[in-house]
Amino acid sequence: MADGGKQQEPEQSGRVHQGRDAVFIGGEWRPAVGAERVDVLDPATEQVIGHVPAAGAQDVDAAVRAAREALPAWSATAPGRRAAVLAAARDLMAARRADIAATVAGELGAPLPFATAVHTDMPTAVMGTFADLAAEHPFEETVGTSRVFQEPVGVVGAITPWNYPLHQIVAKVAPALAAGCTVVLKPAEDTPLVAQLFAGILAEAGLPAGVFNLVTGFGPVAGQALVEHPGVDMVSFTGSTAVGRAIGAAAGGAVKRVALELGGKSANVILPGADLARAVNVGVANVFANSGQTCSAWTRMLVDAERYEEAVELAAAAAAKYRPGERLGPVVNAKQRERVRGYIRKGVEEGARIVAGGPEAPEALPTGYYVQGTVLADVAPESTVAQEEIFGPVLALIRYQDEEDALRIANGTVYGLAGAVWGPDDETAVAFARRMDTGQVDINGGRFNVRAPFGGYKQSGVGRELGAHGLAEYLQTKSLQF
């Protein structure tokens, strides 16, 4: 997903939620069956800031059973009532804006203004859109001599990533609840604290017991148990393509509905005649936002040969404004830091030149999982850094000869999640974008729209999130003939 809002200073400082040593099942906080815990680290300080349980298969089973028990009543609840609960949750999220932002800043390392404007305000807005959709959606229609009903899929197992911890939760849970489904959520082990805050908000908003359940823990244990549980009707997963492939196979074997939002290697295509300075500066900002940990980031910048060197200079100058520890936060953990640095080294080995940043640790920051904002020039379209998702603040600049060459390069990966096109006018940019094999394209700097469908082509996933298309993922169709 992309930067969803204008950065602004938070109105007040909040408190970081330090974690409950409990899972949320059947409307109450209860101890997990096992004693193992997950330590939550602040990526900027490398210090433990909280603990949550490492739930196991027995906890997942209890959560699924609670969700199944709550399903008949919630699915029969009038859409207007479901809408009212979601609207109340939206209002509570807005009221607790400072605490949510502080918690995400603590467990993800995002700078507080970004944690407020994007990690807090955007999911609050998304919750509001699904409150509206729950009230407005035509769950019943007449087609000829038939009455056609859209009914909830059932119990949803939602597995979310760490990079946009609250947004990804809301993008799954809100439409599922709006549709009349019940949910078991397994959030990423790196960022579970805001998920616990969210569970409390839903309960306070009046959501009946068992409709939403939260099990924290590790993917290979709690996540796998959730995917494989026979009481789960649908699995919605956001994360790596490798894990998504395994989840898709398991769900397919059990004939379960599945929604997968996976990786990306999106192209930012700057056509001749476009405003080069604006396109490059916005492109660098897009890649460096959230420390590069955005699946839809435009990590490949394609520029025509005539203006390529000018673009390189502009990108290097733009990157210099993103100082680690200030505008550029850390990546989520030590493993991710080494992964990103390894990709930078690999890019140089394969012929790229570093024009900003590099694999070395930032000066004056001995603590924290920081990576320098890096710009690689002269990147070959088939090279590793142009083909694989790095998930860090690394931009690859690629030269193209003409529009057909640009299209070949843009479409030349296994991914198809997002992208951008800059042209001399919208018509030219749209004509190019229509030929791109990708799920969404920003035209001449178009902004992220929380009501528009989000999802990918090819190995970037299956299904869509957000708006009416996102709601449809959690509905199944029944027709009655007369």
pLDDT tens, 293-317?
999 999 999 999 999 999 999 999 9
Nearest to 288 by CA among 259, 267, 319: 319
Give pLDDT tens digits for 140-182. Answer: 999 999 999 999 999 999 999 999 999 999 999 999 999 999 9
Instruction: Tell me the domains of the chain and their CATH numbers.
Output: 23-262+460-481 (3.40.605.10), 267-450 (3.40.309.10)
Asked if residues 440 and 415 have their Cβ atoms less than 8 Å apart, the reply is: no
Determine the pLDDT at residue 13: 74
Under 8 Å CB-to-CB from 223, ≥6 apart: which residues? 159, 186, 217
Single-letter residue type at 252: G
Please, what is the Cα angle at 443 between 438 and 448, to 5 degrees?
80
Q: Is the dihedral of CA 105, 107, 110, 115 positive or negative?
A: negative
Give pLDDT tens digits for 453-468. Answer: 999 999 999 999 999 9
pLDDT grade, residue 52 (50/70/90)? very high
Give pLDDT tens digits for 77-117. Answer: 999 999 999 999 999 999 999 999 999 999 999 999 999 99
CA 25 to chain centre: 25
pLDDT of residue 11 exceeding 90, the answer is no
Determine the pLDDT at residue 8: 42
Under DSSP, the state recorded for 439 is S
Asked if residues 195 and 216 have their Cβ atoms less than 8 Å apart, the reply is: yes
Residue 137's CB: how many other CB atoms inside 10 A? 18
Q: Is 244 helix (H, G, I), strand (E, B) or coil?
A: helix
Determine the pLDDT at residue 329: 97
pLDDT of residue 10 exceeding 90, the answer is no
Place of tokens 């999911």: 123
Nearest to 416 by CA among 441, 447, 399: 441
Under 8 Å CB-to-CB from 102, ≥6 apart: which residues? 13, 14, 15, 16, 112, 115
pLDDT of residue 9 exceeding 70, the answer is no
Determine the pLDDT at residue 137: 97
Give pLDDT tens digits for 387-400. Answer: 999 999 999 999 99
In percent, how much of the chain has pLDDT > 70?
98
Q: Looking at the whole model, is its pTM more than 0.75?
A: yes
User: Active-site positions?
Assistant: 261, 295
pLDDT grade, residue 1 (50/70/90)? low
Give pLDDT tens digits for 228-284. Answer: 999 999 999 999 999 999 999 999 999 999 999 999 999 999 999 999 999 999 999
Q: Strand 47-53 and strand 37-42: pairing?
A: antiparallel
Nearest to 172 by CA among 126, 114, 223: 126
User: In terms of DSSP H, where are the helices of 9-164?
Assistant: 57-76, 79-95, 97-108, 112-117, 121-136
